[in-house]
Amino acid sequence: MEIAILSRRRDLYSTHRLVEAATQRGHHADVIDTLRCYMNITSARPTIHYKGSELKHYDAVIPRIGASITFYGAAVVRQLEMMGVFCVNDSIAITRARDKLRSLQLLSKKGIGMPITGFAHSPDVIPDLIKMAGGVPLLIKFLEGTQGVGVVLVESSKAARSVIEAFLGLKVNIMVQEYIKESAGADVRCFVVGNKVVAAMKRQAKSPEEFRSNLHRGGVATSVEITEEERTMAIRATQIIGLSVAGIDIVRSNRGPLIIEVNASPGLEGIEKATGADVAGSIISFIEESMKSDEGRPGSKGKG
């Protein structure tokens, strides 16, 4: 198969591992810089051009779209969909996952457990918003934040009001979320490929003073055994958002597992090193299985 990996940098661990896994399985993989793609949008023959030439045909694409380029990246993926290319994660699912509020609303509608979360626009309702989220301590999160950036823990009502007022005054979209104290600065990342959790790791904050467990914030990752409830929850959440490959972040609370985030482009380095799992290989295997399924459908062209 001809596989395209949409990524800004070839030297990133995740990108390198996907190329390596594809090559080991006898496929050819190209790394395509998402922002250097440009499109001819036409009903007759939609195309993508790259570095001065029309992009060649690919059987499948693996989007590695960073949060800062979600809008343009989703447009590129959408164009590939119009061209009949199999996309591991489609454009709609990527934009759903990137909108933290929307993704949590979709999960809530389906009865998925999550921390109490509030969202408001007017400063007048801040006292009730804090009360709604279970009072302090609580978390204030940027809707566009990633890797632990844009997450603030406030421990008094006065501080919560000040921070929320400041963010609303700056026209920053935020949500207020219950702080799960018993998680003790730890969460579980489940890496879902297709309908399977192929690896899971526990991420622990680097110190008692640090509440964020993200590896980019110095968190420590170790392999972890997940419960059947956590496994089912991670797979369901992935399906609800419409993703095929996802990182599902779960906190363990006194009332059971709760989902705090769905990631459409989860990194491979931390989880592969912590668990020893061949996550990149699982993604390539998923593409192979999906392409075989397409070949068996009526009217399929049987690519790959």
Please write the tens of the pLDDT for every residue from 35-66. Answer: 999 999 987 889 999 999 999 999 999 999 99
* 131 closest CA partner among 167, 151, 157: 157
Whose CA is closest to 19, among 269, 199, 281? 281
pLDDT at 123 over 60: yes
pLDDT tens across 234-254, in order?
Answer: 999 999 999 999 999 999 999
Contact 229, 240 (CB under 8 A): no
Bridge-based pairing state of the strands 60-63 and 117-118 = unpaired
Contacts of 168 (CB under 8 A, 6+ apart): 121, 122, 123, 174
Question: Averaging pLDDT over each range in 1-5, 127-131, 138-142, which range is the top one?
Answer: 1-5
Percent of the chain with pLDDT over 90: 74
Maximum separation of any 2 CA atoms in the chain, in Å: 63
The token pair that represents 295 in the structure block: 């070949």
The structural domains of the chain, ordered by start, are 2-96 (3.40.50.20), 117-179 (3.30.1490.20), 182-284 (3.30.470.20)
Amino acid at 50: Y
Strand stretches in 90-178, DSSP E = 117-118, 138-142, 151-154, 174-178
Backbone angles phi, psi at 167, to 5 degrees: -65, -40
Using CA atoms, how far apart are residues 134 and 64, in angstroms rounded to an integer? 36
Instruction: Calculate mean pLDDT across residues 152-171.
Output: 91
pLDDT tops 90 at residue 96: yes
Residue 218: the pLDDT is 57
pLDDT band at residue 149, thresholds of 50, 70 and 90?
Answer: low
Q: Which of 1-15, 147-161, 204-218 has the highest average model confidence (pLDDT)?
A: 1-15
H or E, element range at 291? helix 279-295
Q: Structure tokens of 113?
A: 């457990």
Measured CA to CA, the distance from residue 155 to residue 168 in angstroms comes to 19
The confidence score (pLDDT) of residue 120 equals: 87
Fill in the amino acid letter for 265: S
Q: Is the pLDDT of residue 304 over 90?
A: no
